[in-house]
Structure 1
């Protein structure tokens, strides 16, 4: 038995057809059929049976499939390990992130990781926390950065950064004329608000107002801070976003940190609890966690501000 027999067998099983498998393997069908017959003779068992809609695995074929996958995985892993010994860690890392401070955190990590592993490529997707979670759980992205709160089921996560929430107020608004860089939440209660679009975020903001015995006057929910900022400059409402929103703002508004209560946005590094990371993903995950363990929150504060 040779590795090519394993590869041929797995391809036929996946395609359910000798013809399709031959096309995928770029070989003629008769030699492919002959290779499988040789394998069956060596195992002294039939691996496939013809059905009305193509091929199906026999009981022996199902059993052999388990070993074949393990053999191929070990073969692929050994080749990767040897190549990494010669060239260093390589591959593509699929990341997903929210806005706010997450892009700055991620950029810092990638810059550090790139110095150690220059052959790694990156594909970064941006969206809200709910979308990032879906992509991580489905395997579209290996590692994500989201904001609290989130359902921990199916995820491994670690809090990596906190920042205060701020009110982004049109510069001609009455509240913009008040002195100081902070504003009490109760002063926002009479005014129309623009908030992030995430459903759990609305519930969180509504809870802030419960001790005031009122509900926030939410006029608009926006996925992206820049869009919220543009609406604010037009006087549509006061936007409530994490403090990192200030880096996207140039003019036309004033920013006040929300107090009483003092509320903060927590950023969490997440991966799927039910799926192993690739070697590249595992190295990246371990690097970030080791940096966190070493310098704790002070490290993350320095990377963003």
Structure 2
């Protein structure tokens, strides 16, 4: 299998039509069809469902599409890296980050790094910790910022920040009047809660309540902080999130630090231990790490 086969496959999958894909690739349609047949034979699976109105991906085709996209992305990334080796420190740094206080940290680091290396470009992706870990592990991003806990196997990590967890309380909720700056965890137990979507995070929050002999009433999970704001404003439930989220919340939402016990979110900068960092990423890692020694 060659890279051109992957490019051909992606074009056909995106256009859902051999003729249009051939025009996009500037090749004749019959050879393209043969290449796809050869690819299916090599993989031992049909990639397309051929219908009168066009093509659809089979389940095998959908899986191969994900792999093909990653392969092409990594190829382009490594090619650019090699071309830039002889030109000094330039290229693109790929960072994947969670929300909370991580965007502020990353922005501060990049601002300082950019002063030192103005020719370096940046690509920043945002998601939850599990998504960030997967992207770094797969080589789609050089460096990630996550919220612990995580399985450190296969990663190198550096704690870069800690902050308390808070409850975002809907306007008019009884706890708005009953509390001021903090809220004991026990007071949250009787109420509907919305928590981050990460499976390990849900388990962690359940453990908090288990430690005070309570069981949380978790009615929903959200992947992004914007959901937390909107759900709180809509009186769906009390949302639980690291404290930085409170800085951008609507003024009608009550932000209360969770206490008794006081619970801390730890932000960790990571990179893959099994993959050599690019020259740019290695410099960036060292630049940030020195600030936390």
What TM-score does the superposition give when structure 1 sets the normalisation length?
A: 0.69
Q: How many residues align?
A: 222
Deviations 1:65-105 (A, max 9, x none): xxxxxxxx9xx96x755421xxxx10011110000000000
Instruction: State the distance in 1 between where 2:103 and 2:85 align.
Output: 31
Write out aligned runs for 1:142-221 (5 A). 142-221=142-221
Instruction: State the distance in 2 between where 1:99 and 1:243 align.
Output: 11
Give the match's secondary structure for 1:153: coil
Residues 81 and 226 (structure 1), Cα distance of their counterparts in 2 relative to 1, 3 Å cut: closer
Instruction: State the distance in 2 between where 1:163 and 1:251 align.
Output: 21
Instruction: State the distance in 1 between where 2:251 and 2:4 align.
Output: 62
Counterpart in the other structure of 1:233: 233
Counterpart in the other structure of 1:134: 134
Instruction: State the distance in 1 between where 2:178 and 2:245 align.
Output: 21
Deviations 1:129-162 (A, max 9, x none): 0000000000000000000000011111111110
Query: How far off its partner does 1:107 sit?
Result: 0.2
Instruction: State the distance in 2 between where 1:15 and 1:164 align.
Output: 48
Residues 270 and 232 (structure 1), Cα distance of their counterparts in 2 relative to 1, 3 Å cut: same
Write out aligned runs for 1:117-132 (5 A). 117-132=117-132
Residues 115 and 208 (structure 1), Cα distance of their counterparts in 2 relative to 1, 3 Å cut: same
CA contact (8 A) 2:192 2:238 kept: yes
Counterpart in the other structure of 2:87: 83
CA contact (8 A) 1:226 1:248 kept: no
Residues 140 and 82 (structure 1), Cα distance of their counterparts in 2 relative to 1, 3 Å cut: closer
Give the match's secondary structure for 2:132: helix
* 5+ residue gaps, structure 1: 1-12, 18-52, 55-72, 294-305
Counterpart in the other structure of 1:104: 104
Instruction: State the distance in 1 between where 2:4 and 2:210 align.
Output: 59
Instruction: State the distance in 2 between where 1:208 and 1:145 align.
Output: 24
* 5+ residue gaps, structure 2: 6-40, 43-77
Give the match's secondary structure for 1:122: strand
Give the match's secondary structure for 1:123: strand
Instruction: State the distance in 1 between where 2:211 and 2:106 align.
Output: 36
Query: How far off its partner does 1:252 sit?
Result: 2.2
Give the match's secondary structure for 2:211: helix
Query: How far off its partner does 1:242 sit?
Result: 0.4
Cα-Cα RMSD:
2.3
Residues 16 and 185 (structure 1), Cα distance of their counterparts in 2 relative to 1, 3 Å cut: closer
Residues 92 and 178 (structure 1), Cα distance of their counterparts in 2 relative to 1, 3 Å cut: same
Query: How far off its partner does 1:170 sit?
Result: 1.2
Deviations 1:229-281 (A, max 9, x none): 11111111001100001122122211110001110110000000000100000
Instruction: State the distance in 1 between where 2:4 and 2:168 align.
Output: 59
